[in-house]
Amino acid sequence: MSNSVSISQQISLFCSLIQARRFDDGTLRILESLLISRDVKSLLDVKRSLRDFMRHESLRVFREINGVSVDHKLLILEFFVRAFAITGDLESCLALRYEALVLRELNSAVDRQLHVSYQEWFTFAEKATENRFYAIANKACEKALACFQTSDILKTNDAEDMEAIRKVKRLKDLATVRASSQSGMLYIIEILWLCIKNNI
């Protein structure tokens, strides 16, 4: 009983910190402590409850931060990426990771430090493919290939660059084939990506 009360209090504390917009390591540590469960059923129940809360609350947060700086938006996105990773919500984690990369790319003309390399896009595409999010992997591969067309640093006649392009194209082809076999499925990652894109 006391154990149940303790977990309930911790959940309440975590939720209140999110609602107070405390996006820091201390809040993530509380989240991690919540997932040290005594049995499988309570762990699954806690994870489900936290995922539902964070999905709902994250969309509220992203609607609120329209006017803040890009750096601040990226910090908040990174917080939620880590939080969703802790709870095992891979769909939301990948959706927000993709959104962070897109946000950086959109603002890289103003701040070159935000530039997204082909390697970052490719690594993300590999991760998405490994976890069967083929549509988003395909988009990331397109972004990776675009890096070779626009970069002043990379020269496509270089043998190393040509091999990198071939690797990206192979992964894109794989993602395209696998995505077409799942055309009837709707992924939460697509829903989150669209919602966040419209509100950041």
Query: Has this prediction a pTM greater than 0.85?
Result: no
Residue 1 has pLDDT above 70, yes or no: no
DSSP 1-35: -HHHHHHHHHHHHHHHHHHTT--SHHHHHHHHHHT
Q: Say how many CA atoms lie within 13 Å of 50 toward its Cβ.
A: 29
pLDDT, position 156: 47
Query: Whose CA is closest to 79, among 46, 57, 63, 102?
Result: 57
Is domain 2-199 in CATH 3.40.50, yes or no? no
Domain-wise residue ranges, the chain: 2-199
- 13-71 pLDDT, tens digit per residue, is 999 999 999 999 999 999 999 888 667 777 888 888 999 999 999 999 988 888 889 99
Instruction: Please give the average per-residue pLDDT across 128-145, as a whole number.
Output: 91
Helices (H) and strands (E) in the chain, counts: 9, 0
- Give the Cα separation of 17 and 126 in Å (integer): 34
pLDDT at residue 2 is higher than 50? no
How far apart are alpha carbons 146 and 106 in whole angstroms?
13
Mean pLDDT, residues 122-144: 92
* pLDDT tens profile 88-115: 999 899 989 999 999 999 999 899 999 9
